[in-house]
Amino acid sequence: MTQLLGLVLLSFIVTSVFMVPFIDLLFYLKRRFERIQEKEEKKSETPIHDQLMKKDIGTPSGGGILLICILVVLSVGYAFLGPSVDKMSLGILLFTLVSFGSLGLIDDIKFIITRRKGKLMGLGRKKMLLIQTILAFTISIMLYFMAGLNNFYILGLGNFIMNIWYIPLAAFVIISFANAYNISDGLDGLSAGLLLICLFAFLALNAQNLNLSLAPFIGIWIGLLFAFLYFNIWPARIFLGDAGAFAFGATLAVVGLLTGKILALAIIGGMYIVIVSSSLIQILSKKVLKRRIFPVSPFHMYLKYKNWEEPKIVSRFWLAGGIFAILGLWIASLSK
């Protein structure tokens, strides 16, 4: 426990030291490349969403780039210096973090030097989803063959041995959480605050199962998120960006998969499920019904459209996320 608390504090201090110079660097780059702005911007596919995000145009994005670097360096450093580190699990987590982070980095670089215009500005949705699928299947194969995971437990129904079918199931979970986190990263402090709640829940879940192999990684992650949230809560001085959003969402899914409790993952991350479901309903309604069910999606942007104050939305989503986390822990404890 002493080492774990020390890792949280160390991560918090390191991130705090580097965050202000990094924000200054992003502001400098944004001013430096303002002249590259296109004179004629393409018509947005989500005009209401863009209007609601208007206040954030001048805020730099890309904080996830710094956070990923710190998380990787401190985790690798502890793996070599600290005792009782599950290097196989850590390797899978770091591969997930870096691979999905690199995927979002393309959009972050474009946002740093241009104005924000929707999501997925670099690769486009189809290419992005294809690469996500390849990465998710690669990680799922690692979980199946290297970590030996092939089952999931549902309370009341029992344990299901999936064998090779575990791979597509795990890939679906990883892709879902990567995109859910990215969609949730729309209001100041929303996604990072929800992630902190989820990580505390998984830390408690690992302690409950007497398996603290993931604890050092989670502890470092918690520490840097505390430092990041100081600059990300309303009014935000920096945004996470797509590199951090894709990386953190996918890595959260892998943390849940490594615990062996997929149902607990879905409940603990319940607010991410709510957010991505609202976007999915909107997409399907436009494809099938040829009209929008909501004026704007996802759900938190709809509440902002209905004139809810941004801090109010975020704080209430955090409260709901806390209830989901407690529910997920309770159900996980029943399925021991």
Whether residue 295 is preceded by a cis peptide bond, meaning omega within 30 degrees of 0, is no
Q: What is the largest CA-CA distance in the chain?
A: 60
**Entry pTM:** 0.89
Specify whether the CB–CB gap between 271 and 320 falls below 8 A.
yes
What is the separation of C-alpha 101 from the centre of its chain, rounded to a whole number of angstroms?
Answer: 10
What is residue 39's predicted lDDT score, i.e. its pLDDT?
43
Q: What is the pLDDT along the chain (336 residues), one digit of tens a residue?
A: 788 899 999 999 999 999 999 998 888 877 776 554 444 445 555 555 455 555 555 677 889 999 999 999 999 999 888 766 788 999 999 999 999 999 988 877 776 665 554 444 556 778 889 999 999 999 999 999 998 888 877 766 777 788 899 999 999 999 999 999 999 988 899 999 999 999 999 999 887 765 677 889 999 999 999 999 999 998 888 989 899 999 999 999 999 999 887 888 999 999 999 999 998 888 888 888 778 887 887 888 888 888 889 999 999 999 999 999 999 998 888 765
Specify whether the CB–CB gap between 82 and 157 falls below 8 A.
no
Backbone angles phi, psi at 61, to 5 degrees: -115, 160
CB count within 10 Å of CB 306 equals 10
Number of domains observed in the structure of the chain: 1
Q: Distance (Å, rounded) from C-alpha 60 to C-alpha 185?
A: 14
Q: Which residue range(s) make up the domain with 40?
A: 2-334
Q: How far is CA 299 from CA 233, 277, 304, 313, in A?
A: 19, 9, 9, 10
H/E stretch holding 68: helix 63-81
